[in-house]
Amino acid sequence: MNKIQKVAALFIVVTVCFAFSQVKFSVNARLADQDPKKIYTEKCASCHGERVDAFVDRVWKHGNSKDDLIKSITYGYEDFGMPIWGGILTKKEIEGMANLITESLKTVQQYDFAKAKPAFTGPAIFKSNGMTVTLDTVVTGLNSPWGFEQLPDGTYLITDRSGVLYHVDKNKNKTAITGTPAVLAEGQGGLLDITLHPKFDQNGWIYISYSKIKEEGGKKLGTTAVVRGRIKDGQFVDQQEVFEGLPYASTRHHYGSRLVFDKKGYLFISMGERGQEKVFPQDISTSPGKIHRINDDGTIPADNPFAKDATAKATIYTYGNRNPQGLTMDPVSGLIWETEHGPRGGDELNLIKPGVNYGWPVISYGINYDGKPITP
Query: Is the distance from CB of 224 to CB of 272 less than 8 angstroms?
Result: yes
Q: With CA atoms as reference, report the closest residue to 231 among 149, 144, 140, 329.
A: 149
**Helices (H), ranges, 88-181:** 91-105
Burial class (CB in 10 A: 0-12, 13-18, 19+), 357: middle
How far apart, in whole angstroms, are the C-alpha atoms of residue 82 and residue 222?
17
Is 167 annotated in the active site? Answer: no
User: Coil, helix or strand for 71?
Assistant: helix
Phi, psi of 79 (to 5 degrees): -65, -20
Single-letter amino acid code for the residue at 310: A
How far apart, in whole angstroms, are the C-alpha atoms of residue 211 and residue 214?
10
Phi, psi of 98 (to 5 degrees): -60, -40
Query: Is the distance from CB of 236 to CB of 229 less than 8 angstroms?
Result: yes
How far apart, in whole angstroms, are the C-alpha atoms of residue 288 and residue 244?
10
Phi, psi of 261 (to 5 degrees): -90, 145
Which of 197, 253, 254, 292 is catalytic? The answer is 254
**Active centre residues (catalytic):** 254
